[in-house]
Structure 1
Amino acid sequence: MPHRTRIKICGLTREADVEHAAAAGADAVGFVLYAASPRAVTPQRAGALARRLPPFVTPVLLFVNATAAEVDAALQAVPHAVLQFHGDETPAQCAALAQGRAWLRAARVPLGAGAAGFDLLEYAQRFAAATALVVDAQVPGYGGGGHAFDWNALPWSHPRLHAAARVVLSGGLTPANVTDGVRLVRPWGVDVSSGVEAAKGVKDAALVSAFIAAVRRADAELAAPPFVTAP
C-alpha cells in the first residue's frame, strides 16, 4: 500500500482554523500549552477548540518543561489528546507525564552547519518509547520560528533510525518546500505552524489547503512507478 504522509497543523487558536484544517484533510491539530508562546492557549481554550474536531482528527497538546499539574489540567480539558514534549524533558519525564498515553518528542536540530553535529540516531534511540520523533529546527521560543534546518545533514535512510522512531519532519515547512521535504526525508508525518499563517496563531486557509495539497502531491509522486524509456 502506498505510504500516506500524516499531516499536523500546529499552533491553532481559532475555531475557524480548527474546522478548516480538519475539512482540508489534516490528520492532527496542535494546541500550544506554553504561556511564553504567541500561539499559547489555556487548557480550557484547548478543550473548546478540540470539541470542534470531527472523529479521527487527533488533538495534540504541546508542552515545554511543564509540571505534572499543568499536564493534568490540560488532559482534563482534552482527555483524548496525544502529548508532544518540546522542552528539555528526559525520556523518563516524558513517560511519567504521559501516564500511558501516546506521546511525541521534539528533536531540536541546530541551524546552519550545526545540523551536521546533531546525533539524530542517538536521540531516536534515547526516546525510542515515543510514538514519533518531531525533528524540528532549534530556534528561540521552542519552535514556530519559520526556519528550516539542513535536511541533507541528517541520516534519514539509516536503518537504525527507522528501527527506533517514526519521523515527523518539522521546522520552516511551507507549501513551497514541503514537497521536497517529503521526497527527501520520506517522513511518517509533517508538522507545520508558521508556514501556513497570516499572523502568529492565525492560520491562512489558502496556505493550509495548499500545504496539504503539496504533501499529497509528494505522496502521489513517490507512489508512481518509475518511468522507463523503451530501448
Structure 2
Amino acid sequence: MTPTPRTRVKICGITRPEDGVTAAELGADAIGLVFHPPSPRYVSADAACRIITALPPFVTTVGLFRNDEPEAVRAILSQVPVQLLQFHGDEEAAYCAAFGLPYLKAVPMGANADVRDYEQRFADAAGLLLDSHGGDKMGGSGQGFDWAKIPAERRKPLILAGGLHPGNVAAAIRQVRPQAVDVSSGVEAAKGVKDAELMRAFFSRCERL
C-alpha cells in the first residue's frame, strides 16, 4: 500500500531570524517573507537576508509580492536569495513567470472563487495557494473560508491557507488533502511575531495525520 504523502508546512510572515530558526527546527518546509510594505509583516531586503542567513539548509524561502512593478521585484531579488515567489495581487501568468523562479499564485476564495479558472490561466505555476484574501488584503488576516469550495479533483498542487491554526489544521488536512498548509496569524503572539508554542502545537496536529 502506497503511504499518504506528508503534508508540507509553510510558516509565513517571518520577520525575525529567531522565529525562522524555530520554525525550521520544528519542521517547517518553507518560510514566507513579505515584501509588501503595507503589511504588518513586511520585511526589508536587509532584514530578509538576516533571516535567510540564520536558517539551516533545506528550508525553502518564499518571497511574497502584491501588484508590484517588475523593477521593484527585481530589485528585491537582486539582494535577497529567495527560491520561490508568491503573488497575491492581480498579476497575470506572463508577469509571474518573468522573474526566472518558480512561483505560486494566490487564489482569493471569495463568493465567486473559480479554482479551475486559475488552474488554466496559471498553468505554469508551481502551485496555487488558496486563501481568504481579497480586495486590498494580502492574507494573514486570520479569516478562513468554506473548504467545500475547493474542487476534489486538482490539476495543480494546492496549498491551503486562510485562518488556519492549531485548532483546525487537522480537520483542514483531512477534508482538503492539500499538498501543503500555510499559516501566519494562527501561530503569532503579535503581528509578525511568531509564538514557539503555537508553532509547536500546529506541527503536532499536522504530524498526527
TM-score (structure 2 length as normaliser): 0.95
SS in structure 2 at match of 1:51: helix
Is the CA contact (8 Å cut-off) linking 1:31 and 1:46 kept in structure 2?
yes
The answer to whether structure 1 residue 148 and structure 2 residue 147 are counterparts is no
Distance 2:27 2:123 in 1: 28
Partner residue of 1:202? 193
Q: For structure 2, which runs of at least 5 residues remain unmatched after alignment?
A: none
What is the CA deviation profile of residues 152-181 of structure 1, one whole-angstrom value per residue up to 9, with x for unaligned ones?
1221x12xx2x2x10000000000000000
The answer to whether structure 1 residue 172 and structure 2 residue 153 are counterparts is no
Distance 1:2 1:109 in 2: 26
Once the two structures are superposed, the pairs formed by residues 90-109 of structure 1 within 5 Å of their partners are: 90-96=92-98, 98-99=99-100, 101-109=101-109
Q: Which of 38, 41, 44 does residue 39 from structure 1 map onto?
A: 41
The answer to whether structure 1 residue 63 and structure 2 residue 58 are counterparts is no
TM-score (structure 1 length as normaliser): 0.86
Partner residue of 1:81? 83
Q: Count how many residue pairs are aligned between Structure 1 and Structure 2.
A: 206
Is the CA contact (8 Å cut-off) linking 1:11 and 1:31 kept in structure 2?
yes
The answer to whether structure 1 residue 13 and structure 2 residue 15 are counterparts is yes
Distance 1:37 1:129 in 2: 27
Distance 2:107 2:75 in 1: 25
Partner residue of 1:221? none
Shift of 1:141: 2.3
Shift of 1:128: 1.5
Identity %: 48
SS in structure 1 at match of 2:54: coil
Distance 1:185 1:124 in 2: 17
Distance 2:173 2:159 in 1: 10
Is the CA contact (8 Å cut-off) linking 1:46 and 1:77 kept in structure 2?
no
Shift of 1:2: 2.7
The answer to whether structure 1 residue 193 and structure 2 residue 184 are counterparts is yes
The answer to whether structure 1 residue 135 and structure 2 residue 130 are counterparts is yes
Shift of 1:196: 0.3
Q: Which has the larger radius of gyration?
A: 1
